[in-house]
Amino acid sequence: MSPAEAITQAASCIPFGELVAAIDSALRQDLVQAGQLAGRSTTIDRALAMADARAESGLESLIRMLLVELGLGFRLQAVITGVGRVDFLVEERVVVEADGDEFHGSAPARARDRIRDAAAVAAGYSALRFDYAQIVFQRELVARAIVNAVRIHRGVKGAGRRTRSGQKRIDVRRFS
């Protein structure tokens, strides 16, 4: 079965965010081209429109879909002077990192991550870091943490309005 066929099969049985993550990964690894997926189904076309091959992991894809759902502005793979490249910069003030065990599971990697978080905070940003279990199984907690980090950060213009909208979206949606 080709990667395009596998994605077509998956589209009928996995949640939409996971479909976007699968497409992101397939595009990033050059296993499939967008044209090979386009027109296969309306669900795939919607997911393809949201796909971004810059996502370096499925966890990043899931966080991106969550940020879209919350209605928050963000940049993927943003570079911050003195910190480096971060997974997400939300509303230009809140750093959000999605940590899988492959690159963040060792003690030296965790130490580097804490140094980067401290550098981000020292530069005037808030920093949040979520692992696999939180992103996959505690999406509501992740959503609330991000919304409230934006709400309390003094550097976010219009934070009250933006976070009220995000909070309403959390309240009406059931997270699994």
d(CA 144, CA 135): 12
* pLDDT recorded at residue 72: 95
* pLDDT recorded at residue 83: 95
Whether 122 contacts 158, CB under 8 Å: no
pTM, to two decimals: 0.84
Domains in the chain: ranges and CATH: 3-50 (no CATH), 58-172 (3.40.960.10)
Low pLDDT (below 70) residues in the chain: 101-106, 154-156, 159, 174-176
d(CA 65, CA 2): 25
* pLDDT recorded at residue 175: 56
